[in-house]
Chains A and B, each alone.
Chain A
């Protein structure tokens, strides 16, 4: 899905990277906890849907080589974060919609969920050990 189409569906604004409106995001992942993003996303070019606006969000998006970050719940990142994202060429978008509606609208429009990571997560009580 093109960022421009996504912005239209959600009435979202480009915070930075409007020049990359034609960029495609392959799939989407929604989370507020960045450790979940680090632990669960495997592919590159994924759209991150989040309500977190700390500088770490864009750094995580950069190291994970994500396609764009979409801030939900009407939150806007501070100027320093925007400047950093501009330098790292990661488009940032913002919508007034909440995370649930955002996911619903994009899923209905055909955006696919990011694929599962290959290793088991979270079910081990206690931790089964590592080969």
Chain B
């Protein structure tokens, strides 16, 4: 195992449930942070997409939580943790097109069922853990200098 890499930058954002007015603002803030750090457009873009999907999931479905942006020497990490309700079947929820979104979420333009899959597709390392009644934790990692596809 390589030794843990140095944390260059850390930001913590709170996400309120059902706050549709502010939904998406963590992602635009993360994008600006990464641009200010001089990250390449590809890294900024992938991190922004991951963040947006995670943030929308949290706003639409969870009881709220937080998003942590961690920039290390060799990677960008986005950590999402919410206070529930948790996902019963993660494999099913990760399938493209699978969605439990209520009609109101679909009419807002979300809930097409690409969220988790899209987060995973834009990550180099992706971990999701969930317990029904407790909450869901996601760690999405983008390795710097690793070509995407």
Chain A interface residues toward B at CB < 8 A: 32-36, 38-39, 44, 50, 52, 54-57, 59-60, 62-65, 88, 118-119, 121-127, 130
In the assembled complex, 10 residue pairs joining A and B whose CB atoms fall closer than 8 Å, in A order, are: A35-B109, A35-B118, A54-B20, A56-B24, A56-B109, A59-B27, A60-B24, A121-B114, A122-B96, A130-B120
Contact A56/B108 with A38-B53, A63-B48 known, Cβ cut-off 8 Å: yes
Q: How many residues of B contact A (CB 8 A)?
A: 36
B52 near A33: Cβ-Cβ < 8 Å? no
Cα separation A54 to B75 with both chains bound (whole Å): 33
Q: Which secondary structure dominates chain A's binding surface? A: loop
Name A33's contact: one of B21, B23, B28, B106 (CB within 8 Å).
B106
A124 near B96: Cβ-Cβ < 8 Å? yes
Residue from the set B23, B49, B91, B120 with the largest chain A CB neighbour count within 10 Å: B49
A52 near B118: Cβ-Cβ < 8 Å? no
Asked whether any CB of chain A lies closer than 8 Å to the CB of B102, the reply is no
| Residue in A closest to B59 when the chains form the complex, CB atoms | A56
For A123, the chain B residues whose CB sits under 8 A away are 96
Cα separation A16 to B24 with both chains bound (whole Å): 20
A34 near B114: Cβ-Cβ < 8 Å? no
Contact A32/B109 with A59-B52, A62-B31 known, Cβ cut-off 8 Å: yes
Contact A44/B41 with A118-B149, A121-B96 known, Cβ cut-off 8 Å: yes
Binary contact readout B104-127 vs A (1 if CB under 8 angstroms, 0 otherwise): 001011111111011011000010
Asked whether any CB of chain A lies closer than 8 Å to the CB of B97, the reply is yes
